Amino acid sequence: MNQTVIDTHHISKTFNPDTIPVYAIQQVHLHIERGEFTALVGPSGSGKTTLLNMIGGLDKPDEGNIIINGTDITKLRASALIAFRLHHIGFVFQSYNLIPVLTAKENVELIMLLQGKRKKERDETAARLFEQIGMAEKMDSRPARLSGGQQQRVAVARALASHPEFILADEPTANLDSKSTANLLDMMEQLNREANMTFLFSTHDQRVIERARRVITLVDGKIASDTAFVNPDNG
Amino acid sequence: MILLLQLAWRNIWRNKMRSIVVIASIAVGLFAGIAVLSLYKGMMTNRIRTVIDSEIGHLQIHARHFTQEKEIEMMIPNGDFLLSEVEKFPLVRSAAPRLIALGMLSTTSGSAGVQINGVEAEKEQQVSHLNEKIVSGNYFTEKKNEILIGKKLADKLKIHVGSKIVLTFTDTANNLVSGAFKIRGIYQTFNAPLDEANVYVKKETLSGLLGLQHCIHEIAIILQSDEAVENTLLPLQQQYPSLDVADWRALSPETNLLVRTVDDYSYVIIIIILFALAFGITNTMLMAVLERRREMGMLMALGTSRIRISGLILMETILLTLAGTPVGLFLGWMGVRYFHRTGLDFSSSGEELMASFGFSTRLYPEFPNEKLLPVLLIVCVTALLSAIIPLIKTLTLKPAEALRM
């Protein structure tokens, strides 16, 4: 039986409401089930990142509710929202955003440390994740010594380290070459398939769109189309 | 916690040059502060030593109200017996009796009001080391009517060793008494006003002129150590309740006030130095926060609370500040150690000027061990104050906005 992980109810967001209002998101109603591999697409300024930020609890909608795994995050207080993000949501950013002074392993470990996990568990999880992303030998490297693709893999490992309900990836391939993009998407697909991990991407990248099993198109803050593909190879 | 501490430490070294400049400025500031504190401590020690070793001694005993009124009839009853009793006190190293009269010193060319101290030559040199302060002529000999006068007074009256002077004062019956003396020696202490106001004659000579035998106005006491004052003062006061037994602090309140004022003032100097440094630290940390806004936004997005990120910034500020502290303290300690051995010559500031304030021209700085903890506390407070503006910036960061930067 499918389980709704993300459920937005008519959410809207307007920037600069008192001066020159920008209607970033308008009445968006969206359901994402566990195990989906979904791409949120649309032209620049269509509201992809704003929607992703609101789903990730980084921004609050002016109207509507966002239910994540049964919890209405729009009603959570700031501190509770931070704790919620820590335990339920994984983030992957366009520019990797690894902490440059920490090694790859320490970057992954940091989130578990924030969750209060013991060293032994942190070490085991980090070792397993680096094995999973195929970078076991690069665990002790600093981000500056890793390629863009490798850094993004570490960022995915960091997102997975907290055992989230889903991963939000904002333009994860924007800075990667074709080979790195393919490798990253292979890895994400594998995680989706084997661990039933839910992915929601915001992207312009055709290579990501081609792999997605559902593509939601946003135009001017509204859902213009929502297409699901039957098989993993986009039919 | 260890990882966060590691993160804070490594963050400091992201911009090595900037951090080194701040750490160096903290080290130099602290070195300067320690240098000032050490010099002050050296000056105060010098002043206290002069007060104890040359002027007052550790303790003095007088008849009630003698120090205020200095009336010649206010003598210590059974003074000689008391002196012998005091000398038996366990922590007393030496004690010297003095007979004191206020009078006029006249020469052919001028006159000056002086305090005439009748002393026992042997005992006096053990208490005030007067014999070591003779700069011209000699200490007392067996001859009669010898007088030792201060250099300042000798210069003022243009008299020298061998000059004849006349001392005039009143005896206990208010009769005017005069005595002719020959200058045997000229002494000089680090306290010029004292040198100008005090002359020394032998006690038996003064006793003879006053017509008093076995009388004492003052017993000056030197103890085994400075610390022995507390353990000796109270027993003496309890044993002789009818007399004034006082320590150097009470007898020289101006010195005590000076020491305490300089003590407080030295903290003000440290605070001013570190307050100035706080601006540099604040600037560095503010730059560090502004440069890392996106990273902080990412940390917040991942679920790091603002309090935790603020804690990280605070940790970085404290580490940055504390990194310069041991360097500054070590440099200060080394400098003080060197100058404590060689001394610092302030003769270019004017020997007379220094002496007029009761200081030697060669000062020996002393490391202010007792102030280390307060100084470290001030350093920590500086770090906390320096972190305020960067912390406000951090606490007002919005993750969604920070990630867009």
Q: List, for residues A173-206, the tens digit of each pLDDT value.
A: 988 889 889 988 998 999 899 989 999 999 989 9
Q: Do B7 and A100 touch (CB under 8 A)?
A: no
Q: ipTM more than 0.95?
A: no
Report chain A residues whose CB lies below 8 A from the CB of B4.
113
| B66 CB-side CA count, 13 A | 25
> Residue A116 CB: number of other CB atoms within 10 A?
7
Of B27, B104, B98, give the one whose Cα is nearest residue B320: B27
Answer left, alpha or beta for residue B211, where phi above 0 means left and psi between -120 and 50 means alpha: left
Residues of chain B with pLDDT under 50: none
Neighbour-count burial of B193, counting CB atoms closer than 10 A to its CB (0-12 exposed, 13-18 middle, 19+ buried) = middle
Mark B144-161 as b/e (b = at least 16 C-beta within 10 Å): ebbbbbbbbbbeebebeb
CATH for the stretch A35-60+77-216: 3.40.50.300
Interval A23-59: pLDDT, tens: 999 999 999 999 999 999 999 889 999 999 999 999 9
Residue length, chain A? 235
| pLDDT value of residue B345 | 86
Report chain A residues whose CB lies below 8 A from the CB of B11.
101
Helix/strand/coil for B311? helix
Interval A172-182: pLDDT, tens: 998 888 988 99
Of A88, A109, A202, A124, give the one whose Cα is nearest residue A157: A109
- B167 forms beta bridges with B105, B179
| pLDDT value of residue B143 | 87
Of B103, B109, B108, B115, give the one whose Cα is nearest residue B176: B103
Report chain A residues whose CB lies below 8 A from the CB of B295.
97, 99
Residues B331 and B168 sit within 8 Å (Cβ to Cβ): no
Tell me the C-alpha to C-alpha distance, in Å, between residue B189 and each of B52, B137, B172, B361, B402: 12, 15, 31, 11, 70
Non-local CB neighbours of A45 within 8 Å, separated by 6+ positions = none
Report chain B residues whose CB lies below 8 A from the CB of A111.
302-303
Residue A15, φ and ψ in degrees, nearest 5: -95, 150
DSSP per-residue codes, B119-176: E-HHHHHHHT-GGGGEEEE-S--SSSSEEEEEHHHHHHHT--TT-EEEEEEE-TTS-E
Going from N- to C-terminal start, the domains of chain A cover 35-60+77-216
Pairing of β A71-72 and β A63-68: antiparallel
Residues A189 and A172 sit within 8 Å (Cβ to Cβ): no
Interval B46-100: pLDDT, tens: 888 888 988 899 999 999 999 888 888 899 988 899 999 999 988 999 999 999 9
For tokens 């997605």, the residue is A212
Of A120, A58, A66, give the one whose Cα is nearest residue A93: A58
Between B4, B6, B301, which is nearest A58 by CB? B301
| pLDDT value of residue B116 | 95
Neighbour-count burial of B331, counting CB atoms closer than 10 A to its CB (0-12 exposed, 13-18 middle, 19+ buried) = middle
Residue type, B13: W
Structure-token pair, residue B78: 């059974």
User: What proportion of chain A, given as a percentage, has pLDDT over 90?
Assistant: 74
Interval A91-116: pLDDT, tens: 998 888 899 999 999 999 999 998 99
Answer left, alpha or beta for residue B349, where phi above 0 means left and psi between -120 and 50 means alpha: alpha
Query: How far does Cα A193 stand from its chain's mean position?
Result: 16
Beta strands in chain A (DSSP E): 4-15, 22-33, 37-41, 63-68, 71-72, 89-92, 166-170, 198-202, 214-219, 222-228
Helix/strand/coil for B70? coil
d(CA A62, CA B118): 97
| pLDDT value of residue A99 | 92
- How many helices and strands in chain A, by DSSP H and E? 7, 10
The secondary structure of residue A138, as a DSSP letter, is G
Chain A, window 17-56: residues with a beta carbon less than 8 angstroms from a chain B beta carbon: 53, 56
| pLDDT value of residue B72 | 87
Sign of CA dihedral A199, A200, A205, A211: positive
Residues B299 and B22 sit within 8 Å (Cβ to Cβ): no
d(CA A41, CA A32): 15
| pLDDT value of residue A235 | 39
The CA distance from B302 to the nearest CA of chain A, in Å, is 6
Compare all CA atoms of chain B with the CA of A50 and give the residue at the minimum distance: B400
Q: Do A99 and B295 touch (CB under 8 A)?
A: yes
Cβ of residue A101 closer than 8 Å to a chain B Cβ: yes
The CA distance from B280 to the nearest CA of chain A, in Å, is 23
Q: For residue A234, is pLDDT > 50? A: no
Size of interface A-B (CB pairs under 8 A): 69
d(CA A186, CA B157): 106
| pLDDT value of residue A231 | 55
Cβ of residue A58 closer than 8 Å to a chain B Cβ: yes
Cβ of residue A125 closer than 8 Å to a chain B Cβ: no
Question: pTM of the prediction?
Answer: 0.74
Residue A234, φ and ψ in degrees, nearest 5: 65, 25
Between B7, B299, B300, which is nearest A101 by CB? B7
